[in-house]
Structure 1
Amino acid sequence: MAWNEPGNKGNDPWGNKGGNDKGPPDLDEVFRNLSKRFGGKGNGPAGQGFSALSLTVVLGIILVVWGLSGFYTVKEAERGVALRFGKHVGEVTPGLQWKATFIDQVYPVDVQSVRSIPASGSMLTSDENVVKVELDVQYRVIDPYLFLFSAVDANSSLREATDSALRYVVGHNKMDDILTTGRDAIRRDTWKEIERILEPYKLGLTIVDVNFLPARPPEEVKDAFDDAISAQEDEQRFIREAEAYAREIEPKARGEVQRMAQQASAYKQREVLEAQGKVARFEKLLPEYQMAPEVTRKRLYLDAMQQVLTDTNKVVIDAKNNGNLMYLPLDKLMNNKSAQPEPMTQTEQHINSSSVSGTRTSVPLSGRPTRDERARQGRE
């Protein structure tokens, strides 16, 4: 039974007992009681219960509390996004700032730190092999307002874009390239694909770097792929060693070629000059030969014999006296040509006197004979 139905003698919400309905409490009485608490006299209507001073004090306290609550600090690495009744009004710089509480809202965003989002998974390559790849995307916020309000969650959007770009790039490359030499190309292609996907969303961030971690084949075939990678590394090492050997040998070969070319050029010039000298010499001999052919011919013969016999050992034999052999070591005599002559002994004078009679002949062509030769002649 409701409290206000006839016959209900229970308590009503206003505190009436025994069914004595007095109605709701008087508002004037309520305001009068409040005015007593704040120092009012409590006489007269409720609007006259508050004094002007009390009202001013209360409003001043509220205003001071409201003003102090508006101070806040933006860190050096952050930028604040200011909203007024939910509308973007600008960007807040670092330092001590003030905002109107309940009117303005400021959301600080770190714009200097480099953040990272990992991505990994088992993916199918273009040659229908499964490979496990891992990627780490590093980015920085460049527009705080777009980063906060262009998407529900910018980090989640970037993570999904990274996963989509990675699967697209891996699906268009072969497993050997992913595991060995093609990692850098895959890294660059993934970077470009992420930027292409994020461009229409305008998330207010920029990609700083993309780290493509070493991919791994399935565990079942890991040993075989390790051998393949080792063989390719050996191939690259041999190529580098061959290139180093080529860089070492090539300068030597070029120097050898240059030296041989210079020697050939010098030999050519020498032969040409010698030929020209011989021609000039014969041209000068021609008039003399025309005037005295016999004398010139004999002179040429003697010059040629002198040139031929210069470096040979010579034995001179007296053809008139049979059985008498005269040996003249002309090579030694020529070597001792510059030596001082010694005085002749009596034996030497006797030998020379006997040579006049035709028994023996000693003709010192260049200076006197040496002491050994004189001794040998004395024994003879």
Structure 2
Amino acid sequence: MTDFEFEINDQQEEKGGGFKRFLKLFSFLIIMIIIGVYFSTGIYQVGASEVALVKRFGKYIRQAGPGIHYHLPYPFESVVKVDIRTLRKIEIGFRTVSVEKMSYQEVKDEALMLTGDNNFALVEAIIQYRVKDPVKFAFSLISPYEVVKFVTESVLRERVAQRDIDAVLTSDRDLIAIESAQRIQKILDDYGVGILVENVKLQDVSPPDQVIAAFDDVNSARQDKEKLINEAMGYQNDAIPKAEGKAQEILNEAMAYKQERILKAQGDTIRFKKVYENYVSNREVTRKRFYIETMEQILPEIKKVVLTGDQNILQFLDLESILKGGETK
């Protein structure tokens, strides 16, 4: 307020215009309070799990961490806070009704998926994710939640359609979750939404109610098959060691018999060499000894007559009666 205005006010007071002066002072005070309140709107606090993104005339200019900060009041500057630590989740095929009561509601339009062999499966899944780039998360898309939900549902349908119903219900559940998480992450990175996929979980996978009885029969048959296979494997695990032990025993006996034959052959060879050496050194004696040994092997099995050196005895010896009646020496 200028000196000129104060002089006018003084003159008005002097003329009895005290009320008007008070009114102006009050108005000035109100304006200052309004201005103070307006500028105080630039004070903001950032939580421990948050970052603040400051925009000036709608354009991102800086980032602020946890604590108390200030920015110019609207419309000059504004702040967007992003929680970067909390693990977020999106439910596909169901919605949680009460966490305390562990109750949920099915959303069959989302859960019903077509398999590769033209069957249907009800797939209920959860995707968990965090914000890895708050700037991209806040400014690249209008609704990151809807984008993540749409991409997750599309990828799950794609992976389920690549497998038959048995694989989806049993063996490939974990593999579907792993492949889906990798594929979703790649798509979100291509979109540049600043989201990190922590994991994808298949909460429940089941056949539709109309065919659940038939699938129960199939599962029962599969369990019987597994039981028979396990029993066969148990018998195999018992029979194979026994057979291997018997085979080893036979092999050991064969090796022992082989060694015995080798040693015997070696002994016969040594004996033959010694006999041959004796024969070479004294052929006449060796020949007679062979003759005697041969006769010893032959004569015990036949009737025999032994004659002395007296040649005249042949004219008196009845060989026919001797051979019939016994042995004469």
User: What is the one-letter code of the residue matched to 1:108?
Assistant: K
Partners of 2:248 and 2:70 in 1: CA distance: 82
Partners of 1:301 and 1:266 in 2: CA distance: 36
Equivalent residues, number: 263
User: What is the one-letter code of the residue matched to 1:135?
Assistant: A
Distance 1:220 1:69, change over 3 A: closer
Match runs of 1:1-380 below 5 Å: 42=13, 70-102=42-74, 103-120=76-93, 121-243=111-233, 246=236, 249-250=239-240, 253-288=243-278, 290-293=283-286, 294-295=288-289
Q: Partner residue of 1:348?
A: none
Structure 2: tracts of 5 or more residues without a match:
16-20, 94-110, 298-329
Give a deviation string over 1:24-61, Cα, whole Å, max 9, x none: xxxxxxx88x968xxx97579xxxx89xxx9x999997
Distance 1:255 1:91, change over 3 A: farther
Partners of 1:249 and 1:147 in 2: CA distance: 63
Higher helix share: 2
Q: Partner residue of 1:371?
A: none
Partners of 1:159 and 1:211 in 2: CA distance: 14
Give a deviation string over 1:215-247, Cα, whole Å, max 9, x none: 222222211111112222333444455445545
Give a deviation string over 1:121-154, Cα, whole Å, max 9, x none: 2233343333322111111111111112211110
Partners of 2:133 and 2:150 in 1: CA distance: 20
Residues 179 and 214 in structure 1, CA contact (< 8 A), matched pair in contact too: no
Give the aligned CA root-mean-square deviation in angstroms: 4.1
TM-score by structure 2 length?
0.64
Residues 180 and 229 in structure 1, CA contact (< 8 A), matched pair in contact too: no
Q: Partner residue of 1:355?
A: none
Partners of 1:296 and 1:212 in 2: CA distance: 95
- Partner secondary structure for residue 207 of structure 2: coil
Give a deviation string over 1:173-225, Cα, whole Å, max 9, x none: 33233223232343344334434543432211022111123322222221111
User: What is the one-letter code of the residue matched to 1:132?
Assistant: L
Partners of 2:225 and 2:45 in 1: CA distance: 60
Instruction: Judge which range, 257-266 or 153-162, deviates more.
Output: 257-266
TM-score by structure 1 length?
0.56
Residues 288 and 296 in structure 1, CA contact (< 8 A), matched pair in contact too: no
Structure 1: tracts of 5 or more residues without a match:
1-30, 305-380
Partners of 1:43 and 1:149 in 2: CA distance: 62
Distance 1:80 1:272, change over 3 A: same
User: What is the one-letter code of the residue matched to 2:285?
Assistant: A
Q: CA deviation at 1:256?
A: 4.6
Distance 1:82 1:291, change over 3 A: farther
State the identity as a percent: 32
Q: CA deviation at 1:158?
A: 1.0
Residues 115 and 161 in structure 2, CA contact (< 8 A), matched pair in contact too: yes
Distance 1:258 1:284, change over 3 A: same
Partners of 1:300 and 1:97 in 2: CA distance: 126
Residues 53 and 64 in structure 2, CA contact (< 8 A), matched pair in contact too: yes
Partners of 1:257 and 1:41 in 2: CA distance: 130
